[in-house]
Amino acid sequence: MNFLGTLMWQAPRLLIGIISGAPFVAQYQVGQKFPMTLGSVIERVTQPIFPATTERAAAGDSEGIRELLDTGTRSMLVFALPACLILWLEAPNLLAVWTGQSTAEAVTVFRLTSAAMLAEAVGASAHQVLWGADRATTALAIVLGMALVTLTLTPLLLARIGIAGAAWGFLAGLTFGACAFLVMACRVCQARPYSIMREGVRGLELPLVACLAVGVYTPMIIPAHGWAGVIASGVAPLIAFVSCLWLWGAREEERQFILELVRMPANVARRTATSSRRVAARVASIGMRTVSDELN
């Protein structure tokens, strides 16, 4: 599994190095840097689904597995849809501020990799469900299929359209995997892929429109000439998405999570103030003892 996963993720870079040369590998890696970080987060967040699925599979609880698949897919979509949309919009400005230049090829790689991470988010929970339900052979076959799709399309497209072709091949492989993982995981719990996806995106339409609108117009108001502008252009659409989600599309557990996020700065500030007062009191106590000892 580790070999197939490494092959899937690293093959485009190896093929670029062989076909186009090392400078193009560096350009490809720059375009993938930020979106791939998102993929690492998705993988870590979905890992608890594996033991939870194992527990329910041992008990023969297919309905419980379905709830895990539904909740996991929904959570990943709520997280990944706005994140990938913001990365897509911010690609030119982010690359320009980070590297000092923003080439068309790097922007295309950046955007296609962001789309690939969205596909990864769709299939990540289903992937864990398959492993937890003891469908290792199925999961391995899908990963092998993903690698074959990527290895087949990447050299063909790379020769025609450059490093953007490698990104297209990578996107195609992950899209195939996401669809296959979801379909096979739904078979485990007798669910329909359409139903899982419908529930996953329910209520997200208006928040995504708000995120898109704010993401498009914010750079017109706040020029993204530095990191401050880029951060503002990314945070503003995220706030718009979360606000609209709270008002119109959030599930109850999502509302609770949003509340925790809103309260987090105040809680951190309160704890910091309490710790500061304790430290100050401790320092004052030590100082008073020192003065008292000297006087005596």
Residue 125 resides in a domain: yes
Nearest to residue 74, comparing CAs of 204, 209, 183, 214? 204
- Most confident range (mean pLDDT) of 21-25, 198-202, 285-289 is 198-202
For 81, list phi and psi in degrees, rounded to 5. -60, -55
Residue 274 resides in a domain: no
Residue 3's pLDDT is 57
Residue 10's pLDDT is 78
Residue 15's pLDDT is 85
For 249, list phi and psi in degrees, rounded to 5. -120, 0
Q: How many CA within 13 A on the CB side of residue 176?
A: 21
Residue 114 resides in a domain: yes
Q: Residue 36 and residue 41: Cα distance in Å, rounded?
A: 9
Residue 149's pLDDT is 93
Residue 79's pLDDT is 94
Q: Using the predicted structure, report yes or no on whether residue 37 has a pLDDT greater than 80.
A: yes
pLDDT tens string 243-292 = 999 988 888 888 887 888 777 666 555 666 566 667 656 666 665 666 56
Q: Residue 92 and residue 84: Cα distance in Å, rounded?
A: 14
Q: What is the mean pLDDT of residues 28-42?
A: 90
**Number of CB atoms found within 10 A of residue 14's CB:** 13
| Lowest model confidence (mean pLDDT) among 52-61, 114-123, 187-196, 220-229 | 220-229
Q: How many CA within 13 A on the CB side of residue 36?
A: 11
Residue 220 resides in a domain: no
Q: Using the predicted structure, report yes or no on whether residue 141 has a pLDDT greater than 60.
A: yes
pLDDT class for 21, splitting at 50, 70, 90?
A: confident
DSSP line for 94-156:
HHHHHHS---HHHHHHHHHHHHHHHHHHHHHHHHHHHHHTT-HHHHHHHHHHHHHHHHHHHHH
Structural domains in the chain (count): 1
Q: Using the predicted structure, report yes or no on whether residue 125 has a pLDDT greater than 70.
A: yes
Q: Residue 67 and residue 80: Cα distance in Å, rounded?
A: 20
In sequence order, which residues have a C-beta less than 8 Å from that of residue 179 and are 6 or more positions away?
123, 193
Residue 31 resides in a domain: yes
* Average pLDDT of the chain, as a whole number: 88
Residue 101's pLDDT is 84
Expressed as residue numbers, the domain containing 82 is 1-201
Residue 81's pLDDT is 96
Q: Using the predicted structure, report yes or no on whether residue 159 has a pLDDT greater than 80.
A: yes
Residue 9's pLDDT is 73
Q: How does DSSP classify residue 158? A: H
Distances, alpha carbon 33 to alpha carbons 51, 63, 114, 160, 240, in Å: 30, 38, 10, 24, 25
Residue 266 resides in a domain: no
pLDDT class for 67, splitting at 50, 70, 90?
A: very high
Residue 257 resides in a domain: no
Q: Using the predicted structure, report yes or no on whether residue 156 has a pLDDT greater than 70.
A: yes
Residue 256 resides in a domain: no
How wide is the angle at C-alpha 150 spanned by C-alphas 147 and 153, nearest 5°? Answer: 145
How wide is the angle at C-alpha 52 spanned by C-alphas 48 and 55, nearest 5°? Answer: 150
Residue 42's pLDDT is 93
